[in-house]
Amino acid sequence: MPVKEQVLYTEKDIKKRLGEIARQISEDYTDKEISVVGVLKGCFVFMADLVRELTVPLTCSFVQVHTREGEEGSLISKNILYTYKFEITDKDVLLISDIIDTGVTLHYLMNHLKEMRPNSLKLCILLDKPEQRKVDIEADYVGFTIPNHYVFGYGLDYMERARDLPYISFYKE
Ligand code: IMP
Ligand code: MG
Q: Is the pLDDT of residue 69 over 80?
A: no
DSSP 9-27: E-HHHHHHHHHHHHHHHHH
Ligand 1, atom 11, residue with closest C-alpha: 99
113: helix, strand or coil? helix
Q: How far apart are CA 56 and CA 35, in angstroms?
A: 11
Residues 121 and 95: beta-carbon distance below 8 Å: yes
Mean pLDDT of 42-60: 98
Q: Quote the pLDDT of residue 73.
A: 62
Q: Quote the pLDDT of residue 1.
A: 62
Pocket probe for ligand 1: among 156, 157, 160, 164, the residue whose CB has the most ligand atoms within 8 Å is 156
Q: Quote the pLDDT of residue 78.
A: 81
- Among the CATH numbers 3.40.50.150, 1.20.120.530, 3.30.565.10, 3.40.50.2020, which is that of 11-151? 3.40.50.2020
Other Cβ atoms closer than 10 A to 112: 13
CB neighbour list of residue 120: distance below 8 Å, 6 or more residues apart: 92, 93
Q: Quote the pLDDT of residue 68.
A: 75
Ligand 1, atom 13, residue with closest C-alpha: 99
CB neighbour list of residue 9: distance below 8 Å, 6 or more residues apart: 17, 144, 154, 167, 168
* Domain ranges (residues) in the chain: 11-151
Confidence band of 120 (pLDDT split at 50, 70, 90)? very high
- What pTM, to 2 d.p., does this model score? 0.95
Q: How far apart are CA 104 and CA 108, in angstroms?
A: 6
Query: Within 13 Å and on the Cβ side, how many CA atoms surround 171?
Result: 9
CA distances from 141 to 33, 70, 93, 95, 172 (A): 17, 29, 13, 10, 28
Looking at 2-16, 32-46, 58-72, 128-142, which range is the least confident one? 58-72
Which residues are catalytic, by number?
101
Q: Is the pLDDT of residue 74 over 80?
A: no
Residue 155: nearest ligand to its CA?
Answer: 1
Q: Quote the pLDDT of residue 3.
A: 76
